[in-house]
Structure 1
Amino acid sequence: MQPYLDIFSTARNMEFVQVRDLSLKERGAVVVHPLSFSQAQGQRLAIAGESGAGKSTLLQLIGGLIEPTTGEIRIDGTRVRGPAVALVPGHPGVAYLSQKSDLPKFLRVAQVLRYSSKRPASEAQRIFELCRISQLLDRRTDELSGGEQQRVALARLLLGSPHLLLLDEPFSNLDRVHKHLMQAIIEQLGQQLGITCLLVSHDAADTLSWADNILVLQQGRVIQAGSPEEIYHRPVNEYTAGLFGDYNLIRGAEAQQLQPNASLEGSLMVRPEHLRLATSRGLPGLARAVRFYGGFYEVEVQLLNNTVRLRTATTEGIVPGQAVHIELASASGWALAQ
């Protein structure tokens, strides 16, 4: 991995967020290994990784809430000062939405928001509508559900007119309805308010439809960076592949049989949707299970030396115990395991 990842440069603007040789060591242990990257203004950047990978720590470093061991962060050209230097932790124009809303208790929502607002009333009302909280203004904060509290907390930050919004696991602990609502709101932030967003999530699949680019962290190291399509279709290893969805790892001669024109040096890594049931010319196997998941069926197939799962719109008459054949649906859906 090169010391500086300049893969996110775009024609939209010069670097808005600049991270250079940033690292953190705590109690003698390296939490974040030296890393560098940039984010253009308006670019939607996501940081993905399993729990404990260092995502939230990196976000807090960028926000000036934690003092780094080495390196520097610049936002719109101004260096971020950590708590060892800054009198008040944080950086002007940067808002940090934590996993907990931390709203004052027993106050009306309208009171909480009025104390935080730096915007005219018309702009504030626009934010209330964007965050879907207009109907909550007369309620007390302790009367809100978790999803409602999260939206009020977001509105409170937006009323401060930030230029950069750091989102730390914004969908965690939300039910399906509130999660989809929060996703829609975050999707509209950049479009309607022109705010640059940097998001971290342990559920990496949440980042695929939102992000322009993704950084993948593993044990405090950036192991892959690129567009959602690149990372989903060309994961560098099993860790990254598993973060973004189901995959099959096919070893041995059967990997070569599935992809005969490729120069395979390892195993074949392929998503279930990139396999399909084939004619008798395909790789032979035995259907072990057929499972219904609403939008598709999953067929588990036992090959001679490997077990794979594929997805199909219909069962096509396949039942467990039936002999089947499989093949790659396209040459674009595979990657080599390292």
Structure 2
Amino acid sequence: MIQLKQLTKSYGKGRKVTTALSDLNLSIQKGEIFGVIGHSGAGKSTLIRCINLLERPTSGEVWVNGVELTGLSKKQLQEQRRKIGMIFQHFNLLSSATVYDNVAFPLRLTKTSKEQIDRKVNELLSLVGLEEHKDKYPAQLSGGQKQRVGIARALASDPDVLLCDEATSALDPQTTNSILKLLLDINKKFNITIVLITHEMHVIQSICDRVAVIHEGGIVEQGPVTEVFLKPQHYVTREFILRDEANNEALQIAIEAPHLDSSRAAKITFVGEMTYESILSQTSKDTGVNFAILQGTISTIKDVPYGQLIVRFEGDKKAIDQTIKVLTGQGLDVEVIE
């Protein structure tokens, strides 16, 4: 659906050249919600703006739906951009236009008939829950309502792709969750491919299927959110995930606890339905090993439940080894904390 091939974007000339993206490769599948996470200055916004060529790459190729955008004429590019909607961090609404007129704006640019515009705008305002606000102006709306207008406007041309540039970072947590739910509903209803950039792991965890971690202009880690979130390989990814102070404190307790032959600490990860099963207690009962829970959490990654426990096993060393072996054999990820 979307392919970025050896993408490089530099600014400036000579000794003042700044490289925002460097030889970046990325593939996004049709119908998925793909997240890109990274710190400020990592290249996130440049990457997403290169997808619709609001930023033209210095080198490399951008393919969307089988079309190489980087090889098109200006007129051809305008045609292709109509299939790519975009929502922005600060909404980018026309302040002197009503909610209705903001959503109708892209349709009027393509000289759509008044009847079609009226039908489409009312349909979209109903979709985003703003049908009662169509005659209001942006200044009369909350931040969440403004973003809903932005989403409706982005959907007006029936795009195949929706690009979200930090779409929730200006919103409070409750409003953020409502916008994420709306994006998820839109993805399911229309099978629109959504590319979402953010610096918030919660956003990725809530709705994304896959994620790429960007650092210093390159992708340092990518894959299904469950894998990247639960088994981070790169230190930047771990930084985003290990911001939970309780988790860090529990890890520190486990690390500093005496590690005699009679005890061993481990982090155990459950994914899917096994999250709710009594695998740990049943296994420890069978092997005769006791355990103490130092920290635990149960949550979801999109629709997938998961659990993570940091435990200290106590008992015979061979029995502890056997417990870890049995747990691993049942599909759990067991990481011994040394």
How does the TM-score come out when normalised to structure 2?
0.70
Gap runs ≥5 in structure 1: 1-15, 260-267, 285-298, 300-308, 314-324
1:29 paired with 2:18, answer yes
Give the distance between the partners of 1:82 and 1:92, measured in 2 at CA: 17
In 2 relative to 1, CA 176–255 (structure 1 residues): closer, same or farther, beyond 3 Å? farther
Of 50, 63, 75, the residue aligned with 2:64 is: 75
Q: What displacement does 1:37 show? A: 2.0
Of 301, 311, 331, the residue aligned with 2:296 is: 311
Q: Hey, what does 1:38 align to over in structure 2?
A: 27
Higher RCO, Cα 8 Å, sep 6+: 2
Give the distance between the partners of 1:131 and 1:221, measured in 2 at CA: 35
Of 102, 111, 114, the residue aligned with 2:104 is: 114
Could you give the per-residue CA deviations for residues 237-296 of structure 1, whole angstroms, max 9, x where no partner exists? 33212313435467699599646xxxxxxxx8878x99x999996799xxxxxxxxxxxx
- Name the amino acid aligned to 2:5: R
Q: How does 1:185-264 map to 2 (within 5 A)?
A: 185-245=182-242, 246=244, 247-248=247-248, 254=259, 258=264
Q: Hey, what does 1:103 align to over in structure 2?
A: 93
Q: What displacement does 1:97 show? A: 1.2
Give the distance between the partners of 1:92 and 1:123, measured in 2 at CA: 15
Report the secondary structure of 2:207's partner residue: coil
- Name the amino acid aligned to 1:225: Q
Are the counterparts in 2 of residues 234 and 335 from structure 1 also a CA contact under 8 Å?
no
Are the counterparts in 1 of residues 82 and 157 from structure 2 also a CA contact under 8 Å?
no
Give the distance between the partners of 1:239 and 1:335, measured in 2 at CA: 20
1:183 paired with 2:180, answer yes
Q: What displacement does 1:145 show? A: 1.6
Are the counterparts in 1 of residues 220 and 234 from structure 2 also a CA contact under 8 Å?
no
Q: Hey, what does 2:51 align to over in structure 1?
A: 62
Give the distance between the partners of 1:215 and 1:146, measured in 2 at CA: 28
Q: What displacement does 1:196 show? A: 1.3
Q: What displacement does 1:167 show? A: 0.5
Of residues 113-122 and 210-219 in structure 1, the stretch that sits farther from structure 2 once superposed is: 113-122
Q: What displacement does 1:120 show? A: 5.3
Give the distance between the partners of 1:231 and 1:92, measured in 2 at CA: 33
Report the secondary structure of 1:209's partner residue: helix
Are the counterparts in 2 of residues 258 and 283 from structure 1 also a CA contact under 8 Å?
no
Give the distance between the partners of 2:156 and 2:191, measured in 1 at CA: 13
Q: Hey, what does 2:40 align to over in structure 1?
A: 51
In 2 relative to 1, CA 269–49 (structure 1 residues): closer, same or farther, beyond 3 Å? farther
Of residues 122-131 and 190-199 in structure 1, the stretch that sits farther from structure 2 once superposed is: 122-131
Q: Hey, what does 1:19 align to over in structure 2?
A: 4
Report the secondary structure of 1:224's partner residue: strand
Gap runs ≥5 in structure 2: 299-310, 314-322
- Name the amino acid aligned to 1:33: S
Are the counterparts in 1 of residues 21 and 216 from structure 2 also a CA contact under 8 Å?
yes
1:326 paired with 2:326, answer no
Q: What displacement does 1:209 show? A: 2.7
Report the secondary structure of 1:128's partner residue: helix
Q: What displacement does 1:73 show? A: 0.5
Report the secondary structure of 1:166's partner residue: strand
Are the counterparts in 2 of residues 65 and 82 from structure 1 also a CA contact under 8 Å?
no
1:86 paired with 2:82, answer no
Q: What displacement does 1:111 show? A: 2.4
Give the distance between the partners of 2:121 and 2:196, measured in 1 at CA: 23
Are the counterparts in 2 of residues 233 and 335 from structure 1 also a CA contact under 8 Å?
no
Q: Which has more helix, going by share of residues?
A: 2
Give the distance between the partners of 1:336 and 1:235, measured in 2 at CA: 16
Give the distance between the partners of 2:335 and 2:144, measured in 1 at CA: 38
- Name the amino acid aligned to 1:80: L
Give the distance between the partners of 1:191 and 1:157, measured in 2 at CA: 16
In 2 relative to 1, CA 116–333 (structure 1 residues): closer, same or farther, beyond 3 Å? same
Report the secondary structure of 2:163's partner residue: strand
Give the distance between the partners of 1:312 and 1:72, measured in 2 at CA: 42
- Name the amino acid aligned to 1:25: S
Of 131, 137, 141, the residue aligned with 1:140 is: 137
How many corresponding residue pairs? 278
Are the counterparts in 2 of residues 46 and 199 from structure 1 also a CA contact under 8 Å?
yes
Report the secondary structure of 1:127's partner residue: helix
In 2 relative to 1, CA 311–141 (structure 1 residues): closer, same or farther, beyond 3 Å? same
Give the distance between the partners of 2:65 and 2:170, measured in 1 at CA: 33
Give the distance between the partners of 1:258 and 1:33, measured in 2 at CA: 44
Report the secondary structure of 1:57's partner residue: helix
Are the counterparts in 2 of residues 49 and 204 from structure 1 also a CA contact under 8 Å?
no
When the two chains are superposed, the root-mean-square deviation of aligned CA atoms in Å is 3.7
Q: Hey, what does 1:305 align to over in structure 2?
A: none
